[in-house]
Amino acid sequence: MSRTWTLQEVKQHNTSSSCWVVIKDKVYDVTEFLPEHPGGSKIILKYAGRDATAVYEPIHPLDALDKNLPPDKHLGSLDTSTIAALKKERDTRKKTQDELRVEREQRRKPAINRILSLRDMEEVALKVMSHKVMAYYLSAADDEITSNENSRAFSRFFFHPRVLRPISQVDTSTTILGYKSAIPVLASGAGLAQLGHPLGEANITRGCGRTNIIQMVSSHASLSSSEIAATRVSPEQPLFFQLYKHRDNEIAERRVREVVELGYNAIFLTVDAPVSANRERDIRAPFELEDQEREAQAQELGEKQQTAGETSREPGNAETEIEGEVNLLGTAGALVASVDLGMTFKETIPWLRSITKLPIVIKGIQCVADAVLATEAGVDGILLSNHGGRQLEYSLPPLEVLYRIRKERPDVFEKLEVYIDGGIRRGTDVLKALCLGAKAVGLGRAFLYAQSAYGEAGVVQTVRILQREIILGMRLLGVTSVNELVPGLVERMSWQPILARL
């Protein structure tokens, strides 16, 4: 079905009864898909009969169209002259304020060897991203309190360092589910890496391969599981798969079998993000960009007295626009639309066990009681996580959950491997978690930032920084292997230190 179209022809199909859109010069009939679109039909109808590439690309996985539209709705391409015209239009299009800002920041970006800490990396990354991507990566639930507290929790733990112990040889390596890792750090699953860098998750895969740590690949990666598997530095490089279980067991099973086949080495079943959360920073980003542009235009016109939004709006009519184009699901909303809301310890774990012999880890345990249930369900590990503060506001910081398991149910550590993620920025954070019983810690956004700022090199630099900090910390604690990191080396304070940077 590969004929070509002119924009004129496409333009006819601009209603809900016949709705075509152009994406990357291809023409699609999305009429029947309208009611199924997780982000609502309204946003599609806005682009009915038009080129939607610019709004489509940054918020959809690459294979979304193939997965969601039957082949007969792929109507073909635009004709060559239309394509040329569209390209010219794009090339001569005036850049937005935000695009100009990003270009400026890219020029100012420091040399990578000046990146001394993960916070330096984050700072650079957030500057060189578009406002929309920044808002998506950075955003967390509601007022982003849990996101901040995840990190602050570490600052309440101080060390009891031991001196006069031999420390010349330090070994930072450990195993995770039996796989060797150079440092007790995991690249936690985090989706849509191509928003930050054209090579996306491949940067993380190769960076982890080069530094000998393990990547947990998100179901929501911009690249497919097979593309990522193919990008490994060697066939032995382990990969873990972060599963969002589809509500349809058959589809879910297919997904699991696919990654088993591809040689993935463990399944991390995600349980803390069954539904799309309230990430206001992300939802708000489009308004803010609109306002920014409007202000810039107004200034240009010398109409300085007309401030944002003043022009066309009559007082009072704002009240009537109850339904509009605000996408409350945010960038990531569509991604979890098909997640199974009926999962249970009793059924889901045995079901998964029946499909694969791979180690199973539950990702998203948030309290002691569920950690105990996980040991009873017989999984191989649990990842204490509140999804980086992106799901339930006021979920206890994972380090605090770990601390409660250590105090209330230390037997959990003997029955499965415990990991945590959320808020880790420093080698000392890693060491604190290990002292309390964690086998390894996960970092999610840190690797997204690293690859967004410097691609694969950023990922390598991130691991190197952590390794250097971990070695230094172990020496100054008086230990030479991760097994020596014991509860007695840390103490939880009743006070909170003052942090220069949160």
Pick the catalytic residue from 28, 264, 387, 449.
387
Measured torsion, CA atoms of residues 67, 72, 74, 79, in degrees rounded to the nearest 10: 170
Q: Please, what is the minimum distance in Å from the beta carbon of residue 42 to a copy of itself? A: 11
The residue count of the chain comes to 502
Q: Please, what is the minimum distance in Å from the beta carbon of residue 320 to a copy of itself? A: 7
CB of 54 or CB of 275, closer to a copy of itself:
275
167 backbone dihedrals φ, ψ, rounded to 5°: -135, 20
Buried b (16+ CB within 10 A) or exposed e, 398-416: bbbbbbbbbeeeeebbebb
**Residue 194 to residue 62: CA distance in whole angstroms:** 10
CB of 84 or CB of 116, closer to a copy of itself:
116
CB of 139 or CB of 225, closer to a copy of itself:
139
Is 272 a residue of the active site?
yes
CB of 104 or CB of 254, closer to a copy of itself:
104
Strand runs labelled E in 177-314: 179-181, 185-187, 214-218, 239-243, 266-270
CB of 157 or CB of 244, closer to a copy of itself:
157
Closest to 356 (Cα-Cα) out of 238, 255, 271? 255
**Residue 10 to residue 6: CA distance in whole angstroms:** 7
Pick the catalytic residue from 51, 98, 272, 429.
272
Q: Please, what is the minimum distance in Å from the beta carbon of residue 204 to a copy of itself? A: 15
Q: Please, what is the minimum distance in Å from the beta carbon of residue 445 to a copy of itself? A: 18
444 CB-near residues (< 8 Å, 6+ apart): 187, 188, 189, 190, 388, 421
Pick the catalytic residue from 136, 137, 244, 419.
244
**Residue 312 to residue 136: CA distance in whole angstroms:** 30
Is 142 a residue of the active site?
no
123 backbone dihedrals φ, ψ, rounded to 5°: -60, -45
Is 419 a residue of the active site?
no
Q: Please, what is the minimum distance in Å from the beta carbon of residue 196 to a copy of itself? A: 13
CB of 194 or CB of 395, closer to a copy of itself:
395
Name residue, tokens 């990522």: 228
189 CB-near residues (< 8 Å, 6+ apart): 216, 217, 218, 219, 220, 242, 268, 270, 363, 444
**Residue 287 to residue 281: CA distance in whole angstroms:** 10
Q: Please, what is the minimum distance in Å from the beta carbon of residue 103 to a copy of itself? A: 8
- Catalytically active residues, by annotation: 244, 272, 387
